[in-house]
Amino acid sequence: MSETVSGSGAFEPSIVETAFAWFLRLVALYCLFFGVLYWVRLIGFYPGDAWRFDLMPVYWQVAASVLAVFFPFAAAGLWMLASWGPVIWFICAATETVMYAGFPDLFGERWPIVGAHTFVACVYIAFRLVIFWRRRQPAA
């Protein structure tokens, strides 16, 4: 019996796909960490004068509330390797990039966060391209 018919080895992920799964889980931990940080800000354990929800400016209330919910949600999707996980992560990354790069006078400049999101997006795209090209190659 051939491998395809018997099912042995027919659906084993390649090394690249396995590395991609571990990459997504690493990003999931990163998202969970950021989600916890936003919750810490919302409940007031963050050092600073206006870092409790009722003392925050409205623009920070909106941004922190959205990101406190979306980051753990993205972490769950990425950890489960669900197709919607990277989409939710992209929403979080785009939101923070707009906050810190687009409105630095309101949210401050946090270029390391913007750079980290850019790096993760580039690595994600590279993985997806490699997986795409490997699947398009004819079986030898």
pLDDT in tens, 1-59: 444 455 555 678 889 999 999 999 999 999 999 999 999 988 888 676 767 888 889 99
CA distance 15 to 21: 10
Query: Who contacts 103 (Cβ-Cβ below 8 Å, separation ≥6)?
Result: 59
Query: Who contacts 61 (Cβ-Cβ below 8 Å, separation ≥6)?
Result: 53
- Residues 40/46, Cβ–Cβ less than 8 Å: yes
Sign of the Cα pseudo-torsion (50, 55, 59, 60, in order): positive
- Quote the pLDDT of residue 36: 95
| Three-state secondary structure call for residue 138 | coil
> Domain segments of the chain: what residues?
15-135
Looking at the chain, the whole-number percentage of residues with pLDDT higher than 90 is: 74
117 or 12: whose pLDDT is higher?
117
- Quote the pLDDT of residue 9: 55
